[in-house]
Amino acid sequence: MASEEFSGPVDYLVFAFDQGADIGLGLQALLDRVDQGIIEVLDIELISKDSAGHPSKSQFADLLDVTGFDLGLLEGVDSGILDAEDMDTIVADLQDGQFAVAIVYEDRSLATAAEAWVRAGGAEVFSGGVAISDLDHALEEKS
């Protein structure tokens, strides 16, 4: 978990699915990353839109056709990090008959290294992400 000494980048990921999609393998892969200490899930929500087009949260236990994953593990994991504006943005991209899985997570993949560097007297100075388009552009310029 994030501390004053080090926190990994916090990011989000939203995937849209057609109703009835089997998201069990993806949920298991997510849980595997948590168990390995690679990420920490700060929030995970199941979102759809109601008949008026407004955001509606659903319970993971309500999903049908999920194989290979115990949905009970996600009971009560909604932390409320996603606000009304986030929810509106998500449902704006959903087609009728779709739902979204929204995950807010901390990337902990370098936590062990960061903690070792702090013990060696180091201090985190900068962290952040790189836009894929910027990375692609930089790589194209090198070739």
pLDDT, tens only, 70-115:
888 888 777 889 999 999 999 999 999 999 999 999 998 888 888 8
Summary mean pLDDT of the chain: 87
- pLDDT beyond 80 at 129: no
Mean pLDDT of 39-48: 92
From start to end of 50-141, where are the E strands? 55-58, 98-107
Mean pLDDT of 55-65: 85
In which band, very low, low, confident or very high, does the pLDDT at 4 lie, cut at 50, 70 and 90?
low
Q: How far apart are CA 75 and CA 10, in angstroms?
A: 22
Q: Residue 68: its pLDDT value, please?
A: 83
The edge-to-edge listing of strands for the beta sheet with 55-58 is: 10-18, 98-107, 39-49, 55-58
Q: Could you tell me if 50 and 6 are in contact, meaning their C-beta atoms sit under 8 angstroms apart?
A: no
pLDDT-above-90 percentage for the chain: 45
Q: Residue 138: its pLDDT value, please?
A: 79
Task: Output the CA–CA distances (angstroms, integers) from residue 70 to 27, 73, 80, 119, in the order listed.
Answer: 9, 6, 22, 39
Q: What is the pTM of this model?
A: 0.81
